[in-house]
Amino acid sequence: MTRLEAARLIAINTVVSLALAAGVAAWMQRTQKPTFGTLDVAELYRLKEAQVAAVLVKRDSGDAERILAIQRAAIFGAELSKLIDTLPEECGCLVLTRGAVLGSGAQLIDLTPAVRQRLGLEVRP
């Protein structure tokens, strides 16, 4: 066997091994259990409503501050919708609204705290 034949054999073995490894990885990825994430959309809306109401009822809030709070509330739905559209890809999971989940499951990821933080919504104790 010449060096050229040995090099060809090594190259062929390398290509076949890489193809086999890629095939096994793809097969394993398809057979994994799906992951589910939950999002409490109602909580997010309640928090935004409380945030806006706090500005509107504050005595020392100016008109400009109140108008800004109302404008932010008006665009909140579109902002949340856009964020919800990107969640499945970001978490690699199927996102369900919290109201659609009955019982609790160990394989559920609660995405609500991360979304709350991204939207700048504070939780009051």
DSSP state letter for 101: -
Q: What is the pLDDT of residue 92?
A: 84
Q: What is the pLDDT of residue 56?
A: 87
- Contact yes or no for 41/97 (Cβ under 8 A): yes
Grouping H, G, I as helix, E, B as strand and the rest as coil, residue 37 is: strand
Span 59-78, mean pLDDT? 88
Percent of the chain whose pLDDT exceeds 90: 22
Element of type H or E holding 50? helix 41-57
Distance CA 113, CA 80 (A): 14
Q: Is the pLDDT of residue 123 over 80?
A: no
